[in-house]
Chain A
Amino acid sequence: MKDIVLIVTAVILSLAAAGAIYRIAVGPSLLDRVLASDVLLAILGAALAIDMAVNRHLNNLVLLVALTLIGFIGSVTVARFVADRRGQVNDS
């Protein structure tokens, strides 16, 4: 049971991460990349949480909250930066 769940979720999350990484690589714009890295961060968080649920520990819970906050601060900062350069650069 435990192994099946781990394998299935690992495969699903790897596919998802591959998709997000592809979007980071392709772009086409900076904001797309920010969005995709946010999703990648969420996938990492999901992996941490699944590990915690399957192995019954809570060691990474604070890390999970920190990941959420880092994703938030990162995307807000970049979005702000992009918005400020409006008019100068249209396709960054």
Chain B
Amino acid sequence: MSRKRISFRTELPLLVWLVVVWGALWRDFSPGNLVFGALIAVVVARVFYLPPVELSGRFNVLRAIPFAVVFLGKVVAASFQVMYLAVFRGPSVTNAVVAVPLRSHSDLMVTATGHVISLIPGSLVVEVDRSTSTLYIHGLNVRNDVDTAKLRKEVQDTEASLIRIMGTRTELDALQAEGWPATRGAGS
């Protein structure tokens, strides 16, 4: 079995997450417990080998925080929208399946976009085509072409902001070439 050696830097986010989970499960964030948790995390990550998630190596905190706030707002909006539709529209709701081509071809970016899209109003990922990185999205309450265009724009905007948070340099340049104002912040 040939194993690609994983650098400590690539593994760091996973280890930090494992330590946080460890502390949360013990409900004890004292330094001693966390150090022991870190030890176990390292052992677990070494013994139970998984292919590393290919992170781009940059993470723009300045853009991540507003994104998180907007995301929370959208989750709230999504729930109330679904509730409104359920109560007042009910059986007569019209949907659509829309193909949205993404810019990025990295698995991480497609996954992240899919996750975010599934949680914001009126959209759900039905099928993913990895070879062309196209998402097929089921939209709730999509009645005509205007709504379809709006849904598609929403998905691509989400991807753009995700790229600006943690995309690779090439993806960022592609975004800039498209005319997006991609200022480079602290994390780049």
Contact = CB atoms under 8 A, between A and B. Distances in A.
Q: Do chains A and B touch in the complex (CB under 8 A)?
A: yes
B27 interface: yes
Contacts of A62: 25
Interface in A26-85: 58, 61-62
Nearest to B21: A65
A61 B27 CA distance: 10
Contacts of B25: 62
A67 B25 CA distance: 14
A58 B27 CA distance: 9
A27 B142 CA distance: 25
A72 to B, nearest CB: 13
Size class of the contact patch on chain A:
under 10
A61 B25 CA distance: 9
Nearest to A62: B25
Contacts of B27: 58, 61
A15 B155 CA distance: 35
A62 B27 CA distance: 10
Interface string B18-31: 00000001010000
A62 B22 CA distance: 12
A58 B28 CA distance: 13
Interface string B27-68: 100000000000000000000000000000000000000000
Nearest to B25: A62
A33 to B, nearest CB: 19
Interface string B160-177: 000000000000000000
Interface in B3-28: 25, 27
Contacts of A58: 27
A58 B25 CA distance: 11
A28 to B, nearest CB: 14
Nearest to B27: A58
B90 to A, nearest CB: 13
A90 to B, nearest CB: 18
A29 B27 CA distance: 41
A58 B24 CA distance: 11
Nearest to A58: B27
B112 to A, nearest CB: 18
A65 B27 CA distance: 13
A27 to B, nearest CB: 16
Interface of A: 58, 61-62
Interface of B: 25, 27
Give the top 3 A-B pairs by smallest Cβ distance, nearest first.
Answer: A58-B27, A62-B25, A61-B27
3 contacts: A58-B27, A61-B27, A62-B25
